[in-house]
Copies of this chain bind each other. A is one copy, B any other.
Amino acid sequence: MTALLWPGDDRAGDLLSDPAVLLAMAVVEEAWLDALVELRVAPETARAPRLSALVTDDDVDAVVATVAAGAEDTGNPVVPLVKLLRDRLGDPHPEAARWLHLGLTSQDVLDTALVFCLRDAFDHLAEELAAQVEALVGLARWHRGTPMTGRTLSQHAVPITFGLKAATWLTAVLDAADLAGRLRWPVQIGGAAGTLAAAVELAGHAGAGDPVATALELVRLAASSLGLDAVPPWHTARAPFTRAADALVTCTDAYGRIANDVLVLARPEIGELREPAETSEGRRRGGSSTMPQKANPVLATLLRRAALAAPALAAQLHLAAAEAVDERSPGSWHAEWSALQLLGRRTVVAASQATELLSGLHVEVGRMRATLDADAGGLLAERRSLAPLFPRDQGIRDDQGPGADPVTYLGATDTLVDAALERAAAYVKGRS
């Protein structure tokens, strides 16, 4: 899977890649077939080798191409994949080939595979979020005493510390981590129209005393072997996907917010922040194709890109949810897959870039101080405006006058940094 036009895409590795989704579909079929055999709905002879092993690393790209090419006739990739798996089970395992997929519908397999891949992506995201929290806790602590100019509506306002700015970034990251941490990962197993009718039918044929109970036990068993929650079908109640999408975009919101500050503060006229100049492998970053002096803030640029694109993708999932109809939906369901894949991969890429940016961020303490001092008068204008309220304070105090140090007007900055750090500590504790 190349992504020439989304630089950094390789950071996501195989997460939610086409091969990963295809293998996850095979894993889902396998979990279901195993459950059928385990509960003696299917005969022992239907026990199959690991289905996902039928597709090897060597040929997964070819299989993806074959399945992708065959997907249009039925509208989704499950039918051609099942055909291919049956062919490969072939002669040695005719019963497994026969029983494969029985009781499931295409949407069961694809939805569950996407959940499976999303969970992997979120597991990865959780590590990145933790690393970001760690980096931000470090910045907030280290720079709690680093004064800088507070800016509002693009203009100088009152003094802050860089520690406070880092604490605000931290708040946004913790908000995203909160949402991500609450997601549940359900299987989707309902059969043709969400009634489990085929599974019940199979259980009945097989002589189960209570075929319905057996069908539900099949779902539980398959879910358990996939590490997912057993829940009733949600073919047209799509909150599991919209919640995941909302959590993903809340991550990129946080990264975009950070990137915007870096893009502003790394402007040469401001110069208060600087991106890490080299990649972790030691390559120079941010060069230009023509201008040798350039050191473009590439990570912030690519983070901003992701943040600008993510909201529309999450909205796509909501639109698909809103347009669901019947027992399974034509078109709106199909619009979800690629949106989830793109949103998931891009968020993982952005998370990795954000971690790198935060871990290597250069804070130009001297420039911050210099900007602050140069505009001390302006930054204390609010303070001076309050003086007339207090006739008993005779005139403007020393710390309000033209020569006053803006650092004396930091308000509750320290305590607010502490509050963010406490929340981060609770988050870290909650993870361990």
Whether the pair B310, A312 counts as a contact (CB closer than 8 A) is no
The quantity of this chain's copies bound in the complex is 4
- At the interface, yes or no: A57 with Cβ under 8 Å from chain B? no
Bound complex: CA of A389 vs CA of B284, how far in Å? Answer: 24
- At the interface, yes or no: A87 with Cβ under 8 Å from chain B? no
| Contact residues in B for A82 (Cβ distance below 8 Å) | 289
Whether the pair A267, B268 counts as a contact (CB closer than 8 A) is no
Of the stretches A47-55, A65-73, A125-133, A424-432, the one at the interface is A65-73
Supposing A294-B157, A375-B268, A411-B200 touch, asked if A257 and B286 sit within 8 A by C-beta, the answer is no
Shortest beta-carbon distance from A166 to chain B in Å = 12
User: Which residues of A232-274 have CB atoms within 8 Å of chain B's CB atoms?
Assistant: 232-239, 242-243, 246, 249-250, 252-257, 259-261, 263-264, 266-270
| Contact residues in B for A313 (Cβ distance below 8 Å) | 312
- At the interface, yes or no: A279 with Cβ under 8 Å from chain B? yes
| Contact residues in B for A234 (Cβ distance below 8 Å) | 168, 171
- Measured CB to CB, the nearest residue on chain B to A388 is B98
Supposing A158-B195, A381-B291, A412-B195 touch, asked if A256 and B323 sit within 8 A by C-beta, the answer is yes
Shortest beta-carbon distance from A251 to chain B in Å = 10
Interface membership of chain A positions 192-209, coded 1 if the CB is closer than 8 angstroms to chain B and 0 otherwise? 111111111110011000
- Measured CB to CB, the nearest residue on chain B to A385 is B292
Whether the pair B295, A328 counts as a contact (CB closer than 8 A) is no
- At the interface, yes or no: A383 with Cβ under 8 Å from chain B? yes
User: Which of B109, B197, B238, B390 touches A158 (beta carbons < 8 Å)?
Assistant: B197
Shortest beta-carbon distance from A70 to chain B in Å = 9
Interface membership of chain A positions 85-113, coded 1 if the CB is closer than 8 angstroms to chain B and 0 otherwise? 00000000000001101101110010000
User: Which of B75, B156, B330 touches A263 (beta carbons < 8 Å)?
Assistant: B330
Supposing A215-B411, A381-B291 touch, asked if A195 and B159 sit within 8 A by C-beta, the answer is yes
Whether the pair A322, B193 counts as a contact (CB closer than 8 A) is no
Bound complex: CA of A271 vs CA of B106, how far in Å? Answer: 25
Whether the pair B269, A253 counts as a contact (CB closer than 8 A) is no
Whether the pair A192, B382 counts as a contact (CB closer than 8 A) is yes
Interface membership of chain A positions 390-421, coded 1 if the CB is closer than 8 angstroms to chain B and 0 otherwise? 10010000000000000001111111100110
| Contact residues in B for A21 (Cβ distance below 8 Å) | 4-5
| Contact residues in B for A266 (Cβ distance below 8 Å) | 154-155
Supposing A195-B150, A323-B307, A386-B102 touch, asked if A269 and B18 sit within 8 A by C-beta, the answer is no
Bound complex: CA of A256 vs CA of B335, how far in Å? Answer: 13
Shortest beta-carbon distance from A103 to chain B in Å = 8
User: Which of B69, B150, B298, B312 touches A75 (beta carbons < 8 Å)?
Assistant: B298
Shortest beta-carbon distance from A400 to chain B in Å = 9
Whether the pair A106, B311 counts as a contact (CB closer than 8 A) is no
- At the interface, yes or no: A355 with Cβ under 8 Å from chain B? no
| Contact residues in B for A291 (Cβ distance below 8 Å) | 157-158, 192, 381-382, 385
Q: 3 closest pairs, A vs B, by CB?
A: A304-B331, A197-B411, A150-B193
Knowing that A158-B191, A293-B378 are A-B contacts, what are 4 other residue pairs whose CB atoms are under 8 Å apart, sorted by A's residue number? Answer: A2-B64, A160-B194, A264-B267, A312-B313
